[in-house]
Amino acid sequence: MATVRTFQVTFDCAEPERVARFWCTVLGYVMPDGVDCVAQDPTGEGPRLYFQRVPEGKVVKNRVHLDVRVGTGLVGDERLAALWAEQARLEPLGAVYLYTQYADGEEESCITMQDVEGNEFCID
């Protein structure tokens, strides 16, 4: 049987503290005392997030992104209402709406947004 490994998700960014605060608010994570560039799930279940300063800016679409799961188990108008409510919560934090992918019979609806430094993520 395979061993389960712990992992962290690392974000390259220009302003690590700002991006860390954004994601802490989005996910309900906390920043440990004295550590400005780390976000942790207070329950210990989710992965640690690390935000590292890099000199270059973002130039292309992310190859990996986070899905903020608020519509799990919901379909149709009920799912869209949950997604739109989360979009409305995140925009005042600095998130930017990009587009909505509507259900097509195979995949359910989701919303693609960007965080405060332009990293794409989905509300799913």
- Per-residue model confidence (pLDDT) at position 33: 87
Cα dihedral 12, 62, 23, 86, rounded to 10, equals 170
The Cα-based distances of 4 to 1, 7, 27, 59 in angstroms read 9, 10, 23, 33
- The tens digit of pLDDT for each residue in 54-84 reads 999 888 888 899 999 999 999 999 999 999 9
Q: Residue 11 and residue 121: Cα distance in Å, rounded?
A: 12
- Per-residue model confidence (pLDDT) at position 103: 93
| List of the chain residues with pLDDT < 70 | none
Q: Residue 20 and residue 102: Cα distance in Å, rounded?
A: 30
The beta strand positions in 74-119, using DSSP E, are 96-101, 110-114
Q: Is 24 helix (H, G, I), strand (E, B) or coil?
A: helix
